[in-house]
Amino acid sequence: MISYINITLCELVPSFAACSSAPLNWYNESLIVPNGSYALTATNCIKCNCAPLDLKMQCNPSGLDVPCYNLRCKGSNLLIGDVHMEHSKTGCNVSQCVYRGHRGGKILSR
């Protein structure tokens, strides 16, 4: 099983911290979210938060009453933002459905 790990970059500006989508390899957009806040993207279908303690960007379905498609990762039961951890005798396997941008109304994920 292929595992995807969501790693974010914190850009520090004097007296200001934010999460950036730059290291997430989004296909056609970039996003900078101030520390402790969120931004909506993909026609309000995706909500990306910047966690105040670890400055890690996390994107999930927004939950707003708007038509959204492709919120599930291809070939998986995971929705964008979901993490599945499976423990075994030899270790653990982590799978994550990660938002990767949008194009022409289609939400892209891996």
Residue 1 inside a domain? The answer is no
- Among left, alpha and beta (phi > 0; psi -120 to 50; other), residue 81 is left
> Rounded distance, CA 5 to CA 14, Å?
29
Residue 2 lies in a domain: no
Domain annotation covers residue 3? no
* pLDDT at residue 15 tops 60: no
Q: Which pLDDT value is given to residue 22?
A: 63
Across the chain, what does the average pLDDT equal? 77
Average pLDDT value for residue range 38-62? 88
pLDDT of residue 78: 93
Note the pLDDT of residue 7: 39
User: In the chain, how many domains are there?
Assistant: 1
Which pTM does this prediction carry?
A: 0.74
pLDDT at 97 over 70: yes
Range of the domain at 48: 9-109
- The phi and psi torsions of 22 (rounded to 5 degrees) equal -50, -50
Domain membership of residue 39 (yes or no) is yes
> Distance between CA atoms of 56 and 25, rounded to whole angstroms?
15
Does the structure show a pLDDT above 60 at 13? no
Distances in Å between the Cα of 80 and the Cα atoms of 11, 53, 54, 83, 88 are: 24, 22, 20, 9, 25
